[in-house]
Amino acid sequence: MPPLALSARGALLGLALALTATCTVPLAPKPAAETGRVEVGPEIAAFYRGRDFRPLWTDGRTLRPEAYQLARQARSPALDRAVAAARGGETAALVRADLLLSKAYVAYAAAQDRAPAQADMRYVEPGLAPVARSPRALLEAAAASPASALRRNPAYDGLVRGLARYRASWGRLPQTRVTGPGEALRRRLGAASDAEVTARLRAFQDIHALPVTGRADPATIAALNRGAAHYERLIEANIARARAIPARPGGRMVLVDTAGARLWMIEDGRIAGSMRVIVGKEGMATPAFASTIRYAALNPYWNVPPDLIRKRAQGALRRGPGVIAAEHLEVLSDWSPGARRLDPRRVDWRAVASGRRYVNLRQSPGPWNMMGRIKFMFDNPYGVYLHDTPLRELFDRADRRESSGCVRLEDAARLGRWLFRGRPPAPTGAAEQRVDLPDPVPVYIIYLTAIPTRDGVRFQRDVYRRDRAVS
């Protein structure tokens, strides 16, 4: 950091003595409400002592840009006043603001490191959940990279920015109730003409997951009448969901959003690529959890889910057991590695269809296989993984809830190239060929009904009806 001016050095010498003695900072001979001693704990004191009492959020003359960003996110009136007072460059005000900003940052960052219970995220393996850090560790990380101090992951960071923009745009408009076209609608949209009403309606519909018609149809009127506060709470609920993903500076992760049926590849805190996916259908929703992708299986088998086994059994009853072989399915006695292969003609398909008997149906590798040519494996109790698929037409649908819980990939080869750092494995032709990744990559499967965009946020359909608690 740039050296402090001489006057600031003198002020910080007093700061050093005060911190060493009492872990408080006297900033005025006669304390007042906004100029009295600033209480700091021993770890914050140790942080400043370890850096020779150099400030963190100022350069000795003015506040750094990160200080203003932190003040906006922390939303503390006392901090706002201290930051405003420091704008004048007076040394004592800068010192006070620096200390209050460090306290605010510790509180803010510690809160982000606590995975919220309402996020409903299950961490399958250790090391995937956000980890609480000490105040000193938080401040040292901020000092090492001030620009990334307030960053967490692209979903969280974008939603935080999006919430601020939503409040500054739709939230600032009159929240009056409307019943249809007219003067009340014009005031509600902040529009001065019919053309502006149409343009504003189209913008509102685009952001709020409505058909973009530019007309004040009943669905749009109902959405307007929910009020901006309702949508701000929805954004906050999604910020909480995104907070379940820890900060991974310099690392890689795969993020799957089941509400929007989309996957992102994230590297060094930035999006390296994305693709559409197929997720669990109604009644078989893809769960929210975190695990680690450790290997790929080339030329995989497809183990048919139990509900589909019963459907295949019904087909065998109607059309004969030949339909089992026609789908390249093998009948196994059970799900164990030592399962015996059974003759489809000798299976009691009526008992299988009714649930009185259990068999395993396994589809052999090939272009017909529902796993496609590759699947990416990670430990979880749901039998969920990421995989290729031959059913390409499903990716053109707006509603992509078609699977039994697994995540089907629009471009499995591209994900494979990224996971294997540009060196995807070559298949040998063997079934279930295992190839370990060069580095394990965390995967977070999450549910976001608001996503960040370049201009703010866009809401998504609550396809799994998990937003009911948001009033």
The two beta strands, 433-446 and 289-298, are antiparallel
Sign of the CA dihedral running 209, 212, 214, 215: negative
Q: Where are the beta strands (DSSP E) in 68-204?
A: 122-123
* Residue 65 burial (C-beta neighbours within 10 Å; 0-12, 13-18, 19+): exposed
Rounded CA Rg of the chain? 28
* Long-range contacts formed by 109-112: CB under 8 A, 24+ apart: 109/133, 109/138, 109/142, 109/149, 110/135, 110/138, 112/152, 112/156, 112/243, 112/247
From the list 208, 230, 328, 387, the catalytic residue is: 387
Active site residue 406: yes
In the DSSP assignment, the letter for residue 346 is: G
Spatial separation of the C-alpha atoms in residues 263 and 278, rounded to whole Å? 10
Q: What share of the chain is helix, strand, coil (3-state, %, to 5)?
A: 40, 20, 40
DSSP secondary structure, 406-441, as one string: -EEETTHHHHHHHHTTT-PPPP-S-TTEEEEEEEEE
Tokens of 283: 């009644």
Please state, in angstroms and as integers, the Cα–Cα distance from residue 61 to each residue in 5, 96, 398, 436, following that order: 8, 13, 54, 53
Beta-bridge partners for 378: 293
From the list 23, 230, 328, 406, the catalytic residue is: 406
Active site residue 23: no
Q: How many CB atoms lie within 10 A of CB 175?
A: 15
First-to-last alpha carbon distance for the chain, in angstroms, is: 47
Helix (H, G, I), strand (E, B) or coil at 219: helix
Q: Would you please indicate which residues are annotated as catalytic (active-site) residues?
A: 387, 406
